[in-house]
């Protein structure tokens, strides 16, 4: 059976001119976008424009096709959508345009050098905070990376070793709020945070204000105002 080929075409390069490190960068993002990493294989760099040729195992072909359709519809997993953007960024930086073909059909376009130029201002550092559930803590030097699941997706924060040790007990156990400084850029009239360094934190128990008030009411259920006042006086040593 003929293998279904998947092509990543980059118009600015040829097989003889694309640097090896740049080829590796394109291949990495290409693999992430396609998914099924263990069942999609690199074949060759085709002549003409630099054309990376890959093919999926027969069992994986329908899954890869579905993944490409999800990328086009913007419903694919976050890593695949990020890989699509990263591929387009690579091409824009290389003054290239390109596309992906699957089984002879062009399915994804990369405008690259043809996309509108972004207005970019920054960086600007300012105090900020982030919150979410810690699902990974790691690092090999004086800076440790903490990964959180936030409301809008993954958040990465840099922390000191000392702060990482304090955060370790909260790994996969509830939410925390990290305080620190972020590096912000203004891109096309919108502010975007590029990185974040945390210096302190507070745990969040996940309770809303109504929940907290309800718990307080339950704690003092059946207590008269006089009894409450008397108890508070005793606690204050009056």
pLDDT on residue 153: 81
pLDDT on residue 101: 93
pLDDT on residue 229: 63
pLDDT on residue 231: 59
* Residue 54: closest CA among 65, 63, 43: 43
Q: Could you tell me if 150 and 131 are in contact, meaning their C-beta atoms sit under 8 angstroms apart?
A: yes
Q: Could you tell me if 138 and 145 are in contact, meaning their C-beta atoms sit under 8 angstroms apart?
A: yes
pLDDT on residue 43: 87
pLDDT on residue 233: 58
pLDDT 10s digits, 11-42 = 988 888 999 999 999 999 999 999 988 889 98
In this structure, the number of other CB atoms found within 10 A of the CB of residue 214 comes to 12
Instruction: Determine whether domain 120-206 maps to CATH 2.40.30.10.
Output: no
Residue corresponding to tokens 């290239």: 96
Q: Give the residue extent of every domain in the chain.
A: 6-114, 120-206
pLDDT on residue 83: 93
pLDDT on residue 218: 66
Phi, psi for residue 73 in degrees, rounded to 5: -85, -5
The segments of the chain whose pLDDT lies below 70 read 1-2, 118, 140-141, 188, 206-223, 225-238
Long-range contacts of 100-104 (CB under 8 A, 24+ apart): 100/6, 100/7, 100/8, 100/9, 100/33, 100/68, 101/5, 101/6, 101/7, 101/9, 102/4, 102/6, 102/7, 102/64, 102/65, 102/68, 103/4, 103/5, 103/6, 103/65
């Amino acid at each position: 059976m003929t293998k279904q080929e998947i092509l990543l075409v980059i118009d600015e390069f040829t097989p003889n001119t694309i640097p090896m490190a740049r080829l590796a960068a394109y291949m990495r993002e290409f693999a992430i976008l396609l998914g099924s990493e263990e069942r999609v294989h690199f074949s060759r760099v085709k002549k003409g424009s630099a054309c990376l040729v890959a093919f999926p195992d027969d069992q994986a072909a329908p899954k890869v096709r579905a993944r490409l359709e999800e990328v086009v519809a913007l419903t694919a997993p976050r890593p695949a959508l990020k890989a699509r953007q990263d591929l387009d960024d690579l091409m824009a930086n290389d003054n290239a345009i390109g596309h992906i073909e699957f089984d002879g059909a062009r399915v994804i376009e990369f405008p690259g050098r043809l996309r509108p130029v972004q207005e970019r201002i920054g960086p600007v550092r300012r105090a900020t905070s982030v919150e979410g559930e810690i699902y990974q803590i790691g690092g090999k030097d004086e800076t440790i990376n903490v990964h959180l699941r936030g409301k809008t997706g993954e958040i990465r924060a840099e922390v000191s070793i000392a702060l990482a040790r304090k955060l370790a007990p909260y790994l996969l156990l509830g939410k925390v709020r990290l305080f620190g400084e972020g590096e912000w850029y203004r891109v096309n009239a919108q502010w975007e945070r590029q990185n974040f360094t945390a210096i302190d934190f507070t745990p969040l128990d996940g309770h809303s204000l109504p929940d907290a008030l309800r718990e307080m009411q339950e704690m003092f259920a059946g207590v008269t105002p006089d009894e409450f006042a008397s108890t508070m006086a005793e606690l204050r040593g009056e």
